[in-house]
Amino acid sequence: MPATAKPVARSSEAWRQQLGATGDGRHPRRGSPPPEALPIAERHPSHPTALSHRNLQPIDRLIVLRDGTLPAAAWNQALNDKAHLMRLWPRGQERPESPDWDADLRPAQVINIQPDRRGHLGRLARTVLRLQTVLVLGGGGARGLAPIGALAAMEEVGLDETDVVMGVSIGSLVASLLAFGLSSGEILSQLERVIIRSSPYNLTLPRDALFTLANPRREMELFFGPTRLQDCWLRLHCFSTNLSRNRLQAWCLGSIPTAVITSMSMPGSFPPVEDSRGDLHVDGGILNNLPIAAARGLSDGRVIAVSLDVDPDTADQDSPDRKRRRSSIARTIISAMMCTSHSQSRAQENLADLVLKPEIGAYPLLGWKSYREIVLADQGHARSRLGDGTRFRRAATPRS
């Protein structure tokens, strides 16, 4: 799309007509079957299954447009990791759905658009131009609820054009709720139900971990139901540490509860999670607690990050009994595991347009009783950094 092109506002029905299919899956012209039912040789050259690796080479950005309500169509595996699948949904659709998702379908990204919903056509344009606004949420135990305060401050100044949300550890849980359009107040209410009131840590036989996250998983399954990562209104990435391949891995497809639990599975405290290939995964914060580089690799637009890393020598500096306190075994183990992660996170901070770093060192990693104070601390910090939001509402410009 040329840089000067502007999105055209159309009704959901108009979008479906342009897709070339009616509600019953028949082609509107001559009552013919949809293109997916035709042999490859008879399909239009622009149909996804007609593209080859050679055809893809001169294409800068391939957008595959589909009606989200129709059954899954044929997919060319040459498009995996290259094409951007854009699914259009009719007015009144509460959430996108993928009941018949093919495991071999792995587009570079899935974008869900409801043309009649506020802000969605703008998101479509920013995605095509690679100017998405990306929000990155770090992890940190109870401190991981702090980003809710930042979200509240962004709402106050009208910064609501987030297109992609990424999360690590408990940050992935906050991100998963934000990806469905929940407000900061609604996210806090859900986290109170999932974490605060559900006894998140279940003691287990110490074979591969001390605790399980069975209760949070159950609560998430109740909330998300059959909805998957590719069904979010905002594109969602949950990061884990792949122990089998020694790398940070983003979860973009599949079960939301599984992705979030995997991202939160601190080794020793919670058991590792095995994926469909047999790889073992643990908490993404072990390798990088704030993957800003991944966000910058996805977009030339605005990147905002909420860092919850606390320097060891400043943690608890406001606590009156700081000199008398000794680090617990759990805290010592977690701090030792996170040393490299903190270095990685700080090295990437210059890639973001804004990094919010609330002063929450006085609150311990497992200080769940102080969650409201933690949220308010970040809200106050974000207010001071955002001001009236004017400079962050300006159109993002591509980086050279």
Structure tokens belonging to residue 108 = 């570079």
Give, rounded to a whole angstrom, the gap between the first and last alpha carbons of the chain: 19
CA pair distance 52, 178, nearest whole angstrom: 37
DSSP state letters, 277-342: TS-EEEEGGGT-SS-HHHHHHH-SS-EEEE-----TTTTTTT-TTTTT----HHHHHHHHHHHHHH
Nearest 5°: the CA angle 243, 249, 252 is 140
Tell me the residue type at 157: V
CA pair distance 173, 168, nearest whole angstrom: 8
Which of the following is catalytic: 67, 163, 283, 378? 283
169: annotated active-site residue: yes
In 3D space, the residue among 39, 96, 42 whose CA is nearest the CA of residue 72 turns out to be 96
Which of the following is catalytic: 12, 98, 169, 307? 169
CA 242 to chain centre: 18
283: annotated active-site residue: yes
Residue 200: CB partners within 8 Å, gap ≥ 6?
194, 213, 215, 216
Instruction: Quickly list H helices, the chain.
Output: 12-19, 53-56, 120-128, 147-156, 170-178, 184-191, 214-224, 256-264, 292-298, 329-347, 371-386, 390-393
Backbone dihedral angles phi then psi of residue 58, each to the nearest 5 degrees: -85, 0
Q: Cite the active site residues.
A: 169, 283
